[in-house]
Chains A and B, each alone.
Chain A
Amino acid sequence: MRQSEEDREKLGAPPAHDSYLTDGTTVMSWLNTRDHKRVGVMFLAAVVFFLFLGGVFALAIRMKLLYPGPFLFDALTYNRLFTLHGVTMIFLFMIPAIPSAFGNFVLPLMIGARDVAFPRLNLASFYVYLAGAVLAIWAMVHGGADTGWTFYTPYSTTTPTMLFPLLLGVFVLGFSSIMTGINFIVTVHTLRAPGVGWMRLPLFVWSIYATSIIQVLATPVLGLTVLLVALERVLQFGIFDPARGGDPVLFQHFFWFYSHPAVYIMVLPGMAVISECVATFSRKNPFGYKAIAFSSLGIAFVGFFTWGHHLFVAGQSVFDNGVFGVLSMFVGIFTAVKVFNWVGTMYRGAISFKTPFAYICGFLFFLVFGGMTGVALATVALDVHWHDTYFVVAHFHFIMVGAVIMAFLAALHYWFPKMFGRTYHEGWGLVAASLIILGFNATFIPQFLLGNNGMPRRYYQYPEHFQALNVASTAGATLLGFGFVIIFIYLLIALRWGPRCEQNPWRSKGFEWLTESPPPTHNFDRIPHITQDPHDYRTHAPSGVYADV
């Protein structure tokens, strides 16, 4: 507390006044806001809802898989559930989760800007997201689809389920993603405060910038692809229909040209969060700042040339398989660069083991194991054995649930005081973190074993000798669910009754902590002049001073 008051005096800032939360409390003041912080909070509420929805679908799937034979619901319902689980988690939760919720909130603060470059476009992005979500929900309520989230042709062009509105929903959600991406790239280029050069950008900003490039360049191709499938269903143009000379594998190329980079749209923001949290909770300057920054761009770049590893058994040539396999392994190199640098940042740091740090540990474990199994899967000969088995399911859940959810929860706990000016119960935080990390391992490690033993993914029934591992997996998923419920309860309590915190409860030297918590509507009374690198813990001086601009 004392330090933050000193900071404030040194910075010559005026006393605390209305925060963005109290500046207008009517519903309309939120729905019609141009404030990037309010848009971020609205996105956060929406993605948490869809995390819950996707989680319920996942638990339903796991409950069915307790028994090898028919149980609880029929095979068609099972197919619908895993499709809705995938679509909800990927398009409605994971892609917008960190960039649109936390990125929106902290990115302008981190570069000393008053808002994103296009505030109206930012709000539009939220409403376009809602429109896409409504279409998707409408499809779910009217029977859902049974193709899996990958919409593979020719099944997707012939299934009688409600695929059309779901495809339209995905198409519309793509626009929201593009809008956010364009906004962030332009914001980083044009709204950096004095003193924030490119080599002084917080690592969070670097990773989000790389993510935005993928969002802008890959999403249009997905838009076109789902549009083609939708048209194919209605008009039967024959683009993907072999009977009319079309090629269903072309669909797979189109689809994965977006959907593999989309994995990096999901995981790069996670890496962004971890880069910030590692420095803060180790009280040490980021080790290998440039290596972490440029490896983000490296992943964004290489990510565009790896899609073929989804087509190893789809009749691709042996040469293509080899090339795509090797290119995919480059992602492993860039990821390893980051992992070693994070660990290097922790080394001999003054670590404070708070809840976000627990999630950092979980993140590193899941990212390393998910990443290594990914390199194994990029090896063609091994992939032929594991393709479309639970091994693949476990691998991408390690990255996309393990790593991304850990980073999401780390961000939620790390920036909770920044966003709402209150603190949560640290003890419960650690309890929930342990439950989640434990539950997650219990859910997905058995799935690695199941897949290696030959259990295919997306099957309604399985041979009886797989039951023990399936029961273990379901038990883990239940534990995971409990962890989320605990977090939800104590964060809701903290939101209403949590003790008010000081400006910078973590004593972080990230730039977003230079302003009050919660920040005032215009972020800074005067634009700060940044005088240090981000997370420079070698001095006690504040990272910036307020200058008249």
Chain B
Amino acid sequence: MSEAAALPPGEHPARGADPHLAHHFSSLERQVDASRLGMWLFLCTEVLLFAGLFTGYAVYRYSFPIAFAASARTSEIWAGTLNTVVLITSSLTVALAIHFVRTGRQRAAVVCLLITLAFALTFLGIKAIEYTAHFHEHQLPGRYYRFEGVRLPGASMYWALYFLMTGLHGLHVLIGMSVLGVIAWRTSRGYYTPHYYVGIELAGLYWHLVDLIWIFLFPLLYLI
């Protein structure tokens, strides 16, 4: 959100010192506050985006409790559990990256971000193995559902929600990976300092949200 625009006439000359400070903010603290608030509002919109699918899940779980429970038992629980561990650990490495930038250890921060990216890739890899298995067994939404294991009305709805929810979440993992990639590159170029690291902080917030949504998806789709 920072841009070093030309100073307007009559502007205080000392303001020109910090290249991160945009022309319309009176201080860097104010500008960082604005960026943080903007990010939290954006996270609200993300929560509401998923809220629709969670509502859909609640409605159809209520309509087809037995089919949903039976279908959830046929999901790849080892993969779900492993992915939960992977994602929670990746949240830790992002938090560590912010800590390292704050204490001026850029190289350690870059390493942490790269480890986070590796975890994200692992998550998607495991998800791909799961998807392949489901395609193979015809555990698919709507009219594509041909799974012999569960033949109950509403089972295809479980898989519709499964693919919609994990698909939308997977898309967010991809977006988070691109953001973290850019942040890692910027960190390696020394863009962030112990005094100005809001970009990496916001990327971390986004990653924690992606993590948090998975923590809700895991019990709903695998455990209950």
Contacts of B48 in A (CB 8 A): 217-218, 220-221
Could you tell me the distance in whole angstroms from the C-beta of A132 to the nearest C-beta in chain B? Answer: 16
Q: A178-B45, A217-B48, A237-B142 are in contact. Are A247 and B59 (CB under 8 A)?
A: yes
B175: Cβ under 8 A from any A Cβ: no
B204: Cβ under 8 A from any A Cβ: no
Given A189, A225, A548, which contacts B34 in the complex, CB threshold below 8 Å? A189
8 A-B pairs besides A220-B51, A231-B164 with CB distance below 8 A are: A182-B41, A191-B25, A219-B45, A221-B48, A235-B142, A237-B163, A245-B153, A522-B23
Contacts of A113 in B (CB 8 A): 24
Given A14, A182, A225, A244, which contacts B10 in the complex, CB threshold below 8 Å? A14
Given A119, A219, A247, A521, which contacts B3 in the complex, CB threshold below 8 Å? A119
A440 CA to B188 CA in the complex, in Å? 62
A372: Cβ under 8 A from any B Cβ: no
B10 near A190 with CB under 8 A, answer: no
Closest residue on chain B to residue A525 by CB atoms: B10
A526: Cβ under 8 A from any B Cβ: yes
Q: Which residues of B contact A (CB under 8 A)?
A: 1, 3, 5, 8-10, 12, 22-26, 30-31, 33-34, 37-38, 41-42, 44-46, 48-49, 51-53, 55-56, 59-60, 63-64, 141-143, 153-154, 156-157, 160-161, 163-164
A5 CA to B8 CA in the complex, in Å? 23
Q: A182-B38, A191-B34, A224-B53 are in contact. Are A238 and B160 (CB under 8 A)?
A: yes
A73 CA to B48 CA in the complex, in Å? 42
Q: A119-B24, A191-B24 are in contact. Are A221 and B51 (CB under 8 A)?
A: yes
Instruction: Kindly supply a per-residue 1/0 record for chain A positions 92-127, scoring 1 wherever the CB is within 8 Å of any chain B CB and 0 otherwise.
Output: 000000000000000000000111011111000000
A-B contact pairs, 13 of them (CB 8 A): A178-B42, A182-B41, A185-B37, A186-B37, A189-B34, A216-B45, A221-B51, A221-B52, A224-B49, A224-B53, A237-B142, A241-B142, A549-B12
A269 CA to B23 CA in the complex, in Å? 28
A114 CA to B1 CA in the complex, in Å? 15
A186 near B3 with CB under 8 A, answer: no
Could you tell me the distance in whole angstroms from the C-beta of A548 to the nearest C-beta in chain B? Answer: 8
Given B42, B56, B143, which contacts A236 in the complex, CB threshold below 8 Å? B143
Interface of chain A residues 241 through 290 with chain B (CB within 8 A): 241, 244-247, 250, 254
A235 near B34 with CB under 8 A, answer: no
Contacts of B42 in A (CB 8 A): 178, 182
In the A-B complex, the 10 residue pairs with the closest CB atoms: A238-B142, A114-B24, A522-B8, A224-B52, A220-B49, A220-B48, A115-B24, A190-B34, A237-B160, A237-B141
- Point out which of A186, A236, A254, A526 has the most chain B C-beta atoms below 10 A from its C-beta: A186
Could you tell me the distance in whole angstroms from the C-beta of B62 to the nearest C-beta in chain A? Answer: 11
Interface of chain A residues 212 through 241 with chain B (CB within 8 A): 216-221, 223-225, 228, 231, 235-239, 241
Q: Which residues of A contact B (CB under 8 A)?
A: 14, 17, 34, 113-115, 117-121, 178, 181-183, 185-187, 189-191, 216-221, 223-225, 228, 231, 235-239, 241, 244-247, 250, 254, 521-522, 525-527, 548-549
A236 CA to B142 CA in the complex, in Å? 6
A189 near B153 with CB under 8 A, answer: no
Given B34, B154, B163, which contacts A117 in the complex, CB threshold below 8 Å? B34
- Point out which of B8, B52, B59, B163 has the most chain A C-beta atoms below 10 A from its C-beta: B52
Given A114, A228, A244, which contacts B8 in the complex, CB threshold below 8 Å? A114
Contacts of B142 in A (CB 8 A): 235-238, 241, 244
Contacts of B1 in A (CB 8 A): 117-118, 120-121
Contacts of B55 in A (CB 8 A): 254
A246 near B157 with CB under 8 A, answer: yes
A236 CA to B25 CA in the complex, in Å? 50
A521 near B26 with CB under 8 A, answer: no
Could you tell me the distance in whole angstroms from the C-beta of A250 to the nearest C-beta in chain B? Answer: 6
B143 near A238 with CB under 8 A, answer: yes
Could you tell me the distance in whole angstroms from the C-beta of A412 to the nearest C-beta in chain B? Answer: 26
A217 near B44 with CB under 8 A, answer: yes
A183 CA to B56 CA in the complex, in Å? 30
Could you tell me the distance in whole angstroms from the C-beta of A108 to the nearest C-beta in chain B? Answer: 8
Contacts of A117 in B (CB 8 A): 1, 24, 34, 38
A239 CA to B33 CA in the complex, in Å? 41
Contacts of A220 in B (CB 8 A): 45-46, 48-49, 51-52
A245 near B64 with CB under 8 A, answer: yes
Could you tell me the distance in whole angstroms from the C-beta of B36 to the nearest C-beta in chain A? Answer: 9
A113 CA to B34 CA in the complex, in Å? 13
